[in-house]
Amino acid sequence: MRDAPSLHSNPPRLRVWWHPTFDRNRLRVLLLALMRLLLTGGTVVDGTGIPGVRADVLVENGRIASVGGIPENVEAERIDCSNCVVAPGFIDIHSHSDLQAHQDKVEKARQGVTTEVVGNCSFSAFPAAEERSALHEFANSIFCGSGDWGWHTAKEYYADAAKGPGRVNPLSLVGHGTLRISEVGLKQGPLAPAEMDAIEQRLSDCLAEGAVGFSTGLMYAPGSSAPFEELERLCRVVARHGKLYATHMRSYFGGILESIDEQLELARRSGCRLQISHLQIAGRKNWDLQRKVIDKIERAHRQGIDVAFDCYPYVAGSTVLTQILPQSALEGGIAAMLARFADPAARARIASETLENLAWAWSDVYISAVASARNASLVGKSLEEISKERQREPVQTVMDLLAEENGAVNMLCFNQSEENLRQTLAHPLSMIGSDGFYVKGRPHPRLAGTFPKLLGYYTRQEKLFSLEEAIRKITSIPAERLRLNGRGVLAPGNAADIVVFHPQEVAGPADYENPEVPPTGIRYVFRNGNRTDNGGR
Ligand SMILES: [Zn+2]
């Protein structure tokens, strides 16, 4: 028998209502989560890949209470999902919304995303040193960052995210570049033993505090200068914590086979789970390498290496313009790079190295963002066009632009073939992520359109895979990869992260010309039972 409630048990709890530190918004969220929701008449595609079934879904206290078998008279707010698919919230395995996850941005939520993995490609928002200018210089163009952002620890980063609007839950990897910068700034090359010990410990601390893994970006300075031994030591830390290692490899161009070998060797030696980020073969002359790349991955997988990869459903990629240059040009940071541009001998050397390694045609590279107003008209133009207008060699235009914009230029580049893309999208070891990031200019359409485009174009129209398989690639597969319990499958007991969409209408019309057009056909998105795709329930 339970004790009768004592007279003193209630007042302390009530006091919280007018306690000055009590967050009223939090209370609102709690009360909403207590409500019951009944999603009626939809087809449940639960994320595991099994065929969809007609079933109602009951949500209670932010969790899925039942799928089917619900008494007719149950008291709940009813949401009509007739003709719609009811699926688990989508998990964006590869995102760069590290800062935007703390802000009230709707681009991901309205695509059906409820969880996103940030901290990719060596860029994360923690661990930050006291002095953050080097970190800002490193990551602002990928994060669309301004102001004095940065968190010392994973714990602080998550705590701040929890105070935000919570449309999407960020899970962060620890970026290798950020990690190095926290200890030695923008310095390139091998680290001293004490520096190495320090970053190893810091990585371990971040993983213990809830970072979901570690990421490298071996085409980006300063991580690009790290020797294999450094990566091996850090991957051993990842393996010890049972977390994920995601890599933007040293090359996606002609050197991709060696790059894959290096990453597989890291996984083999350290025992970590390996995630190859945004797998693609960039540059027309390299497209034939895809079969060999896939063969290497499949062979390693058969040999017991825990390897998988992600990709986004577009043939163009997007990154910072400095990626065109040899990364040694960035040694010491932007100011040092600009000083090299001003020195004729150094400039000539950078130009010739750039041309030697260039895999794109200049007509395939477009400017997507600049820092200044005076160059705003260049956004959307190719380097070939701009160079003609300016009557400059394209490689000189690249350096001119970087100098005019103090290094802050983003590009969009047509990388891969449609045929190769379809093969990676459909591959059993792949999952689909956005690789989306915000820019002060014209973003890549994947930021606004990845998931609906996958479901509309590649699934319904092109029939690349079944709807069940497409959903599995953006729900249970990434959840399993992250060892994320209680999400990624629509089943009783799991968090009520749910997307309701119309399978005939879902589409991601955002394109390179109009990249911010919102998706169609997504009806409702819930995270922990709270509506997130609009202003709130
Ligand atoms: Zn990347």
> Which stretch of DSSP H or E encloses residue 503?
none
Q: Are residues 190 and 324 in the same domain?
A: no
> Which stretch of DSSP H or E encloses residue 498?
strand 498-501
- Residue 524 Cα, ligand 1 centroid: separation in angstroms? 30
Minimal CA–CA distance to 209: which of 162, 159, 175?
159
- Residue 142 Cα, ligand 1 centroid: separation in angstroms? 10
Mean pLDDT of 468-476: 98
75 belongs to a structural domain: no
- Residue 95 Cα, ligand 1 centroid: separation in angstroms? 9
241 belongs to a structural domain: yes
Mean pLDDT of 388-406: 97
Q: Are residues 213 and 101 in the same domain?
A: yes
User: In this model, does residue 412 exceed pLDDT 90?
Assistant: yes
Q: Is the dihedral of CA 142, 98, 223, 190 positive or negative?
A: positive
What is the C-alpha end-to-end distance of the chain, expressed in Å? Answer: 39
Which of 6 and 162 is assigned the larger pLDDT? 162
86 belongs to a structural domain: no
- Residue 429 Cα, ligand 1 centroid: separation in angstroms? 18
- Residue 121 Cα, ligand 1 centroid: separation in angstroms? 4
Read off the pLDDT of residues 21-66 as tens digits, 9 standing for 90 and up: 566 666 665 565 467 999 999 999 999 999 999 999 999 999 999 9
> Which stretch of DSSP H or E encloses residue 305?
none
49 belongs to a structural domain: no
- Residue 76 Cα, ligand 1 centroid: separation in angstroms? 44
- Work out how many domains the chain is built from and give that number: 2
pLDDT at 19: 52
Least confident of 114-123, 346-355, 439-448, 462-471: 439-448
161 belongs to a structural domain: yes
pLDDT at 235: 98
Q: Are residues 216 and 346 in the same domain?
A: no
User: In this model, does residue 304 exceed pLDDT 70?
Assistant: yes
pLDDT > 90 in the chain, percent: 88
Q: Are residues 308 and 332 in the same domain?
A: no
Neighbours of ion ligand 1 (CB under 5 A): 121, 248
- Residue 295 Cα, ligand 1 centroid: separation in angstroms? 22
- Residue 66 Cα, ligand 1 centroid: separation in angstroms? 39
Read off the pLDDT of residues 109-119 as tens digits, 9 standing for 90 and up: 999 999 999 99
Q: What's the rounded Cα separation, in Å, for the pair 501 and 523?
A: 5
382 belongs to a structural domain: yes
- Residue 433 Cα, ligand 1 centroid: separation in angstroms? 11
Q: Are residues 102 and 130 in the same domain?
A: yes
Specify whether the backbone of 248 is left (phi greater than 0), alpha (psi in -120 to 50) or beta. beta
502 belongs to a structural domain: no
Q: Are residues 191 and 288 in the same domain?
A: yes
Residues 434, 312 contacting (CB under 8 angstroms): yes
149 belongs to a structural domain: yes
Q: Are residues 276 and 424 in the same domain?
A: yes
pLDDT at 26: 67
- Residue 131 Cα, ligand 1 centroid: separation in angstroms? 25
Q: Read off the CATH number of the domain in which 421 is found.
A: 3.20.20.140
Q: Are residues 274 and 309 in the same domain?
A: yes
Tally the residues of the chain.
537
Q: Which domain holds residue 378?
A: 320-412
- Residue 122 Cα, ligand 1 centroid: separation in angstroms? 8
Query: Which three-class secondary structure state does DSSP give residue 420?
Result: helix
Q: Are residues 274 and 354 in the same domain?
A: no
Q: Are residues 261 and 401 in the same domain?
A: no
- Choosing from 404, 428, 446, the residue where a domain stops is 446
Mean pLDDT of 10-24: 50
- Residue 474 Cα, ligand 1 centroid: separation in angstroms? 18
Q: Are residues 326 and 361 in the same domain?
A: yes
Q: Are residues 353 and 225 in the same domain?
A: no
- Residue 258 Cα, ligand 1 centroid: separation in angstroms? 17
